[in-house]
Structure 1
Amino acid sequence: MRAPAEAEILAPSFPGMSRWVNVAMLRMDKQLGRPVLVEFWDFCRVNSLRTLPYMQEWHERYADAGLRVVGIHTPGFEASRDVDAVKAAVARLEISYPVLIDNELKAWDAYGIEGWPSRYLWNQESRLFEFHFGEGGYAETELAIQELLGIEREPVAPVRPEDEPGILLPAQTADQPGAWSGPYEAGGVWAVLSGSGSVRANGEPIEVTHPGCYPLVEHPHHTTGVLELEVGDGVVCEAVCFTPGVAPA
């Protein structure tokens, strides 16, 4: 969504004394003269994971043209509060742009964030140019980046069918706390897991080797199903989460 021209919203500063990954430190006031794309995310939230391919591709496509991409990792689960786990996740997910570790929620509060993922595109004068909450809106964000950089090219192709611009998706089941089992409607089922061991989802074993969001069940389209989740010794399940799917034809 484009920011109202009359709003003149200036980018908040990055919190001082923050920990960073992939860079020693960044200051927002040192980014004047270049557009900056900021996204708040959590490696334990599946909707954050689903936006990462776009963020990474925009970094690779436009960094040389002047775009600065910054991920702000603000934890929403106990499993994602550990600094070493965040660093390991950035490496595992092959994120190459700078990531600020916002464990104290200082950046989160400065922006007034209400959920993950949330992304903000700031222009060369550090004024808000475009923003989006949640998944989707990828083409709009990339076209806004191109406008600021004076570049024209075909936007990144949708990673999933449900990412197609303008598509209407059925509502999926709401996220559930803990090691939940029961009926659901969704395109996929995930769990926030930590520890070491295994779980079984509808009889299928899944090995847990690090904290993160693990796929339990995946469907080719929006489906009604029943989850039977068994959590083994040594594993903690903080939540069961659902992703959207395209309605069957």
Structure 2
Amino acid sequence: MQRRTFLEAAAATVAIGVAACMHPADALAGDVPLARAYRAPELAEIEKFFHTKASSLREFRGQVVALHFWTYSCSNCLANLPHYARWHHDFAAAGLVVLGVHTPEFSEEAKIENVAEQLQALKIEYPVAIDNQFATWKQWKNRYWPTVHLIDRRGDVRATWIGELNWKASRGEVTMRSRIEALLKEQRDS
């Protein structure tokens, strides 16, 4: 309940333009307009990867990456998971990698076996990195669950959404899906 109240207030703030042109770490919630693209920070101190042999963002260069921070007992995060699953289903063949970064909020969420059970229960098929030390969270200057970043084929962050994608009819899924489609249409690096 506390998260939703905060996100509702934050979304209203964003709606009146207070958060324009901020770095994602300085934003409140919703669509975060970026003044310019910036190099995606690398993953740091990942304890385990599921559903991939990759161990860094560099290994996904040449593909578009939807990197999302989440934890399995966060209701706001769970509300976004079906959207990420659809992105994976709809765009993987076109060059999109959905990459979850599971960063625990509570101690039981840091247990690898609990995360593995939840990945199976939630039917998550795309790659997930375990960030139990918060090293990647800190590297990305993340502050909120959930947050999703879109990274282009060159490794630059081009879009960010903080909070539930469709909270209070915010149309975040439509916005981010459109941005994914645009990034996938951009030319591959030679």
Matching of residues 1-249 of structure 1 within 5 Å = 1=31, 3-4=33-34, 7-16=36-45, 18-136=47-165, 137-150=172-185
TM-score (norm 2): 0.74
State the distance in 2 between where 1:82 and 1:134 align. Answer: 24
Checking the alignment, whether the CA contact within 8 Å between 1:69 and 1:97 is kept in structure 2 is: yes
* AA aligned opposite 2:34: P
Checking the alignment, whether the CA contact within 8 Å between 1:3 and 1:129 is kept in structure 2 is: no
State the distance in 2 between where 1:26 and 1:54 align. Answer: 24
> How far is 1:18 from its partner?
3.1
* Residue-by-residue CA offset, 1:111-144 (whole Å, 9 max, x unaligned): 1111100000011111111110000211110000
**Structure with larger Rg:** 1
Q: Report SS of the residue matched to 1:100.
A: strand
> How far is 1:4 from its partner?
3.1
* AA aligned opposite 2:91: Y
Checking the alignment, whether the CA contact within 8 Å between 1:43 and 1:80 is kept in structure 2 is: yes
- Going by fraction, where is strand more abundant, 1 or 2? 1
Checking the alignment, whether the CA contact within 8 Å between 2:46 and 2:136 is kept in structure 1 is: no
How many residue pairs get matched? Answer: 150
Say which is worse superposed, 94-103 or 74-83, in terms of deviation: 74-83
- Coordinate RMSD, CA, aligned: 1.6
State the distance in 2 between where 1:134 and 1:95 align. Answer: 19
Percent same amino acid among aligned pairs? 28
Distance 1:86 1:17, change over 3 A: closer
**Aligned position for 1:189:** none
State the distance in 1 between where 2:85 and 2:173 align. Answer: 12
* AA aligned opposite 1:26: S
Give ranges in structure 2 of 5+ residues lacking alignment: 1-30, 166-171
State the distance in 2 between where 1:37 and 1:13 align. Answer: 14
* AA aligned opposite 1:38: L
Runs of 4+ in structure 1 deviating by more than 6 angstroms, as ranges, are none
- Going by fraction, where is helix more abundant, 1 or 2? 2
Q: Report SS of the residue matched to 2:150.
A: strand
* Residue-by-residue CA offset, 1:167-210 (whole Å, 9 max, x unaligned): xxxxxxxxxxxxxxxxxxxxxxxxxxxxxxxxxxxxxxxxxxxx
State the distance in 2 between where 1:108 and 1:52 align. Answer: 19
State the distance in 2 between where 1:106 and 1:17 align. Answer: 8
> How far is 1:42 from its partner?
0.5
State the distance in 2 between where 1:80 and 1:109 align. Answer: 18
* Residue-by-residue CA offset, 1:195-239 (whole Å, 9 max, x unaligned): xxxxxxxxxxxxxxxxxxxxxxxxxxxxxxxxxxxxxxxxxxxxx
Distance 1:3 1:9, change over 3 A: farther
Give ranges in structure 1 of 5+ residues lacking alignment: 152-249
TM-score (norm 1): 0.57
